[in-house]
Every structure is written in structure tokens, then in C-alpha cells.
Structure 1
Amino acid sequence: MATVSPGDRKDLIGLIVSDHRAAERLFAELIAGAGDAQHRRDLADHLTTELVRHSVAEELYLYPAARRALPDGDQVADRGIEEHADIERILKDLEGVDPADRTFDELIGRLYVDVQDHVAQEEREVLPRVQDACDADELRELGELVARTNAAAPTRPHPSAPDTPPQDLVLAPGTGMIDKLRDALTGGDAR
């Protein structure tokens, strides 16, 4: 089985792994507790945006590829979608919590554990199998779609929104547009 690493890869696998590393860096800064309350709120909001965008990309492209290419693809995809829903519920709970409140750190801790478990399982089991099962051209095309989707993806958690095709394909761009409008009106604040 292949090993996954982002390197300079711009395909599906490389972009997903690169997103994982970016989230890890944001978590490291949040968990270190550095900065004032506004800085920590900004970091949490940025992390929320990145995790939501990443989830949308996986649900639109990685999981359908897994369903097509892997014998147990439905179970793999369903597990990932369930994990995303759990993560989005924590993100929703985190919205509006004052960083000075100890609940903020508790939620960040829960979120960290859930995201780390998801990333580890995905990089250890899912991504290598998808990489082996799909050809390089398909992975590159999916990577291009992920890059385009990131520009239109929602920036806020929507744990009750549909996360399986075809409903997610129809609603994600509109939800992203609404989120971006809300962000612009609130000064980019994802609360």
C-alpha cells in the first residue's frame, strides 16, 4: 500500500494531506494558548472555516471516489461523513463561546481529539487505498475540482445540512455564498 504525503502534489491526495497539516498548525497555536482572547477567537474561526471547507471537499470528491473504487467504499465514506457530522457539531457549539470561558478550551480539546482521530484513520487507511485504486489522471482531476470547490465552499458549520449526493452538490455552493456574505457583513467573523 502506498504512503501518502503532500509534497508538491496538487492531486486529491496531496491537497487533502496538505489541509490536514494546515489544521494541525492551527490546533498547535490554539492549544498553546498564546495571544489574547481576540487572537484565539480569530484562530478558532479560521480553523472552523478550514475544517468546513475541507469536509465539503472530502464529501464531494474523496468519498464518492472511495465509493466507486473500493470494495468497502460505502462503509468507508459513511464513516467519514459521520465523523464530519460529529466535528461540525463541536464547531457549532464553539461558535460564540468566549475564549476566556473554560468551555472554549474544552471544546477545542474535544475538537482536536476528533480531528486527529479522523486524520490518522484517513491517512493510514483511506487515502493510501484510494491512491492505489485510482489512476494519476483521475486523482489530478479530482484535485483540480477540490481546489475550485474550496473557493465556493461554506465557511461555517452546518451540521444539519445534507452531506450526501445529490443534495450536498446542490446546496454547498449556495450555502458557501451565504456564508461569505455573512462573513463580509460581519467583518470576516465566522461566529
Structure 2
Amino acid sequence: MSTISEAITKDHRELEQYYNEIVNSADVDHQQRFGNQFTWELARHSVAEELIVYPAFEKYMGAEGKEKAEHDRAEHHKVKEHLKRFQNMSPKDANYVAELKSLMSILQHHIEEEEKDDIPALEKALSSGNDTGASEQMAKSFGRTKAFVPSRSHPSAGEHPPFETVMGLLTAPIDHIADIFRKFPDKTVSPNPSTK
């Protein structure tokens, strides 16, 4: 059974892998497939953090947690704006890789802060409470949530529940249907959220 730290870190490593597949390839089809995979994973990961992890910061870590959550939400908004531009580009666009690199520089900073400070602080707060297994339960909720959220970036939906939740429930089905027509790695039609 994984903890919330393990679930988040696993997603971060996958995003880095997809990024490397894009920037280290000159094959347009390969870049398109992994660009779609990168977008799919980052959009779902971001919303799941906003719905599951950031409220936990506030619940378990008090004022410090609220500050961390607001800081991370602001960073997510920047990432979502870049992702929206990137997801609407083609690998044939001259700025495709440059836009991804710009996005990744913001994202990498965010990932480092989360892994070095935010998530360890959350794990410490979770383990010091009476809620045994809270980290594992949060990891399960995080995984389940990713199956129902949008698979594309929608910065106008915001980063705070419940408005974001409502917008996600409205846009997710449209994103998931459109995913059927997108190319993904390994010639799959679209990733199956129930397996991630």
C-alpha cells in the first residue's frame, strides 16, 4: 500500500520521463504521443492535489498548512496557464519544445518544493495524529480522484474546491471523450484512468 508521498513522487517521475521523451526526440509523432501523455498526467495530477492534498495541508497543519496550500495553488495556476498553451500546440509548431521547457522550469521548481518540504511536512503531521493509515487512505483517494477529473488544463476553473470540483465534473467527460481521438504512447487509444 502506498503513501501519499509515494503516489505524488511516482507521478512526478512519470512527468519527468514524458518530458524527456518529448525534448529528446525529433520525431513529430513520438512528440505528439508523449505530449498528450504529459498533458493527461499533469492535468489530472494537479487537480487531484488541489482536491485531496491541499485541503489536507489545511486540515492537519493549521496556519502553516494553509500558507503552503495557497502558495502551491498559485504555482499550479501558473503551470495550468502554460499547460493550456502547450496542449493546444502541435509538435510542428516552432515553439512547441520551448513552451514545454518553459512549463517544465516552473513545474520542476514546484516539484522540488513539494518533495523537499511540503509533502514531508504533511506526512509528519499525518503520522503525529491519531488517524493511523491516513497517508495510505489519502493515496487511495488521490488515485481515485484522478479517474474523474479533467485530462486537459482548464485554468479558468480555479484551484479551490468546491467551484473547481463542479467545473471538473462538467469538463472531465468532454476531455475524456476527446482523449479517444488523441494519440498516446504505445499506440493506445487513450490512457485508462482506472489503472493509474
Q: TM-score, normalised by structure 1?
A: 0.87
Q: Which of 63, 72, 83 matches 2:64?
A: 72
Distance 1:90 1:187 in 2: 20
Tell me, yes or no, if structure 1 residue 176 matches structure 2 residue 165. Answer: no
Tell me, yes or no, if structure 1 residue 160 matches structure 2 residue 156. Answer: yes
Percent identical across equivalent pairs?
A: 29
Q: Which of 58, 62, 65 matches 2:49?
A: 58
In the other structure, the counterpart of 1:46 is 37
Quick one: which amino acid aligns to residue 102 of structure 2?
R
Structure 1, unaligned stretches of length 5 or more?
Answer: 1-8
Distance 2:145 2:178 in 1: 19
Count of paired positions: 180
In the other structure, the counterpart of 1:95 is 87
Runs of 4+ in 1 over 6 A off after TM superposition: none
Distance 1:188 1:151 in 2: 19
Deviation at 1:35, TM superposition (A): 4.6
In the other structure, the counterpart of 1:4 is none
Deviation at 1:188, TM superposition (A): 5.5
Tell me, yes or no, if structure 1 residue 137 matches structure 2 residue 128. Answer: no
Quick one: which amino acid aligns to residue 61 of structure 1?
I
Considering only aligned residues, what root-mean-square deviation do their CA atoms show, in Å? Answer: 1.8
Of 96-105 and 78-87, the range deviating more from structure 2: 96-105
Of 174-183 and 76-85, the range deviating more from structure 2: 174-183
Distance 1:95 1:147 in 2: 23
Distance 1:52 1:11 in 2: 21
State the secondary structure of the residue aligned to 2:155. coil
Distance 2:13 2:147 in 1: 19
1:171–1:188: structure 2 CA closer, same or farther, 3 Å change rule?
farther
Structure 2, unaligned stretches of length 5 or more?
Answer: 185-189, 191-196
State the secondary structure of the residue aligned to 2:75. helix
Question: 1:5-48 deviations in whole A, cap 9, x for unaligned?
Answer: xxxx522111011101111111111121x151121012111101
